[in-house]
Amino acid sequence: MIVISTETIPGWKITEVKGLVQGNTVRAKHIGRDIAAGFKNIVGGELKGYTELLTEARREALERMMSQAKELGGNAVVNLRYATSMITSGAAEMMAYGTAVVAVKEQE
């Protein structure tokens, strides 16, 4: 499945628009990671545990969005956007949304 952040796909023709699709996931942080992050808050720097956690969460949100697009009968998602929000102090929500479309490869 093609997932792209622009409205068009070069080399492909969009023949049908299937509608808005979205996927989200809410992740809570791990206590072990939180303790490590507490130390990092003293010296500063990247919180690698959190970076990995969010990579995973975002991938899941994207996969949910893609399966929704498949259900609608689309083979591509265009104009993809991401959104992140803190729900409570311990959990973050990742969301991915876009427009599911049917795209056909253009003949040269």
Partner 1 sequence: MEELEFFISTGSFLVLFMIGFIFGRLNEKRHLARLAKEQKELNDILCTDLKRYPADIDSSITPVLVTGHVVIANDYFKMIAASLRNIFGGSVKSYEALIHRARWEASIRMLKEARENGFDAICNIRFETANISNGVEVLAWGSAFKRK
Q: Which residues bind partner 1 (CB under 8 A)?
A: 2-12, 29, 34, 37, 40-47, 50-51, 54-55, 58, 80-86, 89, 92, 106, 108
The single-letter DSSP state of residue 5 is S
| Residue 25 CB, nearest approach to partner 1 (Å) | 14
Beta bridge partners of residue 20, listed in sequence order: 99
* Pairwise CA distance, residues 45 & 100, whole Å: 38
Is beta strand 76-88 parallel, antiparallel or unpaired with respect to 91-105?
antiparallel
Q: How many Å apart are CA 18 and CA 4, to the nearest integer?
A: 15
Q: Minimum CB separation from partner 1 for residue 16, in Å?
A: 18
For the CB of residue 60, give the shortest distance to partner 1 in the complex, in Å. 14
Q: State the virtual CA torsion across 66, 70, 71, 72 in degrees, nearest 10.
A: 100
- Residue 63 Cβ, how far from partner 1 at the closest point, in Å? 13
For residues 37 and 102, which CB has a smaller minimum distance to partner 1 in the complex? Answer: 37
